[in-house]
Amino acid sequence: MNNLLPGVLADALYLPVLPYFVAVRGAREIVLAAGDQLSRQSFVNKTRIRLANKVEMLSVPVYGVRKKQAIRDLRIDYDQKWLNVHLRGLQSAYGKAPFFEYFYSDLERVYLQKHPYLLDLNRELLTLCLKFLGWDVKLRVEEAPVEEAHFRDIRGLIHPKRLKERQGIYHPQPYQQIFGADFAPDLSIVDLLFCEGPGANRILDRSEKSN
């Protein structure tokens, strides 16, 4: 486990995948860099869950993305039917998971608030997941350029195209998933929470690579 880092500079990702939580584990504060430019094909509006036959990428649609657009300015497109797709996807993937009933209703309430901006949705979901994990960590959104000399900077490290690298952060620790005989790593934190509940922290501890 990280030795009480002062803080971590991180991207504001959507229901972040497990390497993200391993990377921020042990920090006193997580600072979300809202003023950073959007990296295309990133996890800012995407996450991965496991359905019966495959690992599925869930994506939150946003209105036309401009070059050099800041994450804080991304507006969610509710004209598309993504909300029902995501909620039904979570129900289909995890409805029979041991801890589904402990967490789903709180997640659903965040979705049904229909935050106009992606940053607000991501922040609220992250806050909830940190609460589920029982972590005593401050979460702060910073819109100005961030320069925190004593903070660990993981911005850009947790990216769909770089998962196999895992940046020396994450060593997948298998746990009992709902579907499939083979363990699927790098899924959203909700996969671990629904499947393991209070055992999630034990899995995250074991998933941390020693540098």
Could you state, in order of their start, the residue ranges of all structural domains in the chain? Answer: 8-206
Best CA proximity match to 19, nearest among 198, 204, 161, 196? 204
pLDDT tens, position by position, 174-203: 999 999 789 999 999 999 999 999 999 999
Residue partners of 139: CB distance under 8 A and separation at least 6: 29, 30, 32, 123, 126, 127, 130
Average pLDDT, the chain: 90
Least confident of 74-83, 113-122, 135-144: 135-144
Residue 151, helix vs strand vs coil: coil
Neighbouring-strand partners of residue 49? 56
Q: Which of 193, 211, 59, 181 is nearest to 126 (CA)?
A: 193
At residue 1, the pLDDT reads: 47
Mean pLDDT computed over 155-160: 88
